[in-house]
Copies of this chain bind each other. A is one copy, B any other.
Amino acid sequence: MTSMSDVARAAGVSAATVSRALRGEPGVSEATRRYVTEVAKRMRYAIARDASSLAGGRKYAVAVLTADVGRGDLLAGAEGALRTAGYDVLLYVLRDGGTRAEFFEELPALGRRVDGVLALSVDLTDAERDALDALDVPVVAVRDDDLREALRLAAGHVLELGHRDVALVLAEDVDESYDELLVAEGLSVRPEWTLWSSSTVAGGEQVVDVLLDGDRLPTAVICSSGEVALGVFLRLRRDGRGVPEDVSIVSLDGPELARAVGITAVEGAWRERGEHAVHRLLAGLRDEPHDVQPPSVHLVVRESTGRR
């Protein structure tokens, strides 16, 4: 395996010069740099990163934490941006409580391996957050949802279409009702139209059963997951209700499903968000400020929503 000194010898310079030339460090004449670079390429030289980071302190690696690999685009976006910036991506999947505890158990070792940490879709507890901060490397965390913002978009959309009677179906583990937010957007709220459901098609169908028990139907339903939206859609259709003629449906998540079925949905630009997170992290590594706003979620209008 050709080493840096091999290249140095072949180019007739010292290893230090090769090092400087290849890394674009100042203090090398352009001519030398060009020549060294060329020799290195010709010799198919690849730097030994261990040696480099051992000597230099920088690891050229970032740990990427993810709760599960569901939101693939977020991860892919981050990976691409890191790779482009010359960093290796050390993946850690914090699947369940077990792997998660284990990870935080062995955190100290991580600090010696990476220059920074990116937490994607991981809901960090305060203790976990503290443990990461104690690592003494920059940490950037990205949540993979932004329910309030998504809800705002969805509410604005149906309002604009003339809807006033809007039901909201939340995931079971959400404990807020978001009434004030809806009211703030200009929608009136009926308590019986805020529902909680498991994020499944069957759950969505049951929701419609509940709604049908009421004295009248809402004209629009906002669902927190694609599965629920689909369930609502199917059940309404089975009951002879037109979508969107009788009821409009908006999904706050589940972009693939929504796209496949043609449901209006809030989508997250996840790849871009992953890239953005990396830029923030890299700025942190360089101690630069980074004020750029993350790409925001947006609404993709499809066939499930119509004018009231």
A interface with B by C-beta (< 8 Å): 1, 44, 46-51, 53-54, 59, 64, 68-70, 72-73, 75-76, 79-80, 83, 88-93, 95, 99, 108-109, 111-113, 200-202, 227, 230, 234, 237-238, 257, 260-262
Contact = CB atoms under 8 A, between A and B. Distances in A.
Contacts of A201: 260-262
This chain: copies in complex: 2
Given A72-B68, A92-B83, A112 B46 contact: yes
Given A89-B91, A230-B260, A46 B111 contact: yes
Is the contact region of chain A dominated by helix, strand, or loop, or is it mixed? helix
A104 B88 CA distance: 15
A-B interface, 7 closest residue pairs, ranked by CB to CB distance from nearest: A69-B72, A46-B109, A50-B54, A91-B91, A50-B50, A89-B91, A201-B260
Given A1-B112, A257-B257, A76 B80 contact: no
Contacts of A230: 260-261
A238 B54 CA distance: 66
B72 A95 contact: no
A92 B90 CA distance: 10
Contact of A59 (B1, B50, B262): B50
A202 B303 CA distance: 12
A113 B52 CA distance: 12
B99 A80 contact: yes
8 contacts: A48-B54, A49-B50, A76-B93, A80-B95, A89-B90, A89-B91, A234-B234, A237-B238
